[in-house]
Chains A and B, each alone.
Chain A
Amino acid sequence: QKEVEQNSGPLSVPEGAIASLNCTYSDRVSQSFFWYRQYSGKSPELIMSIYSNGDKEDGRFTAQLNKASQYVSLLIRDSQPSDSATYLCAAYSGNTGKLIFGQGTTLQVKP
């Protein structure tokens, strides 16, 4: 079992819709969680961090964390074609210092 799992997609949504990206993790000691956006051929860009159960909103992005269910999600409202990218979920365990990444979900926003 992978430590962080994501559906590889592609997830296709029309422009203006809400895109919902999901991630599960297996290590209960994971303390904080991150969403990175990665355009083709580029490096990951941090877009959201979440540490506590519940929702965290930043502009069009909302991250949701449920530690009991070991589940993290990212909602993108009013999706734009420029949001088309791979979205990487990562879990951080303070014991090791490293981020554990899922394989990423490819999002396609169609005009």
Chain B
Amino acid sequence: DTGVSQDPRHKITKRGQNVTFRCDPISEHNRLYWYRQTLGQGPEFLTYFQNEAQLEKSRLLSDRFSAERPKGSFSTLEIQRTEQGDSAMYLCASSSTRISYNEQFFGPGTRLTVL
């Protein structure tokens, strides 16, 4: 049983650089979510996909952020021109609409540090 996987697990970058994260959901799950978590806070929703369609985007997702899920399987989250305020844990979760009530299962996260 393979859970949600994320790559890389850690990323250190300099301010102004672009970064891209990948998420592979649980294989039978058709929904995929991105959240961001900073120290001492709960995860904050960024965006989600059902299959390949991006159905919801948070106002937190500025123009510098873009997410894709081109074939309805894995997803990428790109941050352009990173800022120090982007430093956080980026979490991916997946769920299945065939299971009631949308239980979401998280991957290990990608910890981003912007210097």
- Which residue of the partner chain, among B45, B48, B58, B103, contacts A46 with CB atoms under 8 Å? B103
The count of chain B contact residues (Cβ–Cβ below 8 Å) is 26
Checking A31, A43, A97, A100 against B106 with a beta-carbon cut-off of 8 angstroms, the contacting residue is A43
Contacts A42-B108, A43-B108, A46-B105; is A101 near B43 (CB within 8 Å)?
Answer: yes
Cβ of B104 under 8 Å from chain A: yes
Contact B48 A98 (CB under 8 A): yes
State how many residues of chain A have any CB contact under 8 Å with chain B.
26
Q: A42-B108, A44-B43, A100-B45 are in contact. Are A34 and B91 (CB under 8 A)?
A: no
Q: Mark B17-42, 1 if CB is under 8 A from A, else 0.
A: 00000000000000101010000111
Cβ of B42 and Cβ of A43 under 8 Å apart? no
Closest 7 CB pairs of A and B: A101-B42, A98-B45, A32-B101, A43-B106, A43-B109, A44-B106, A101-B43
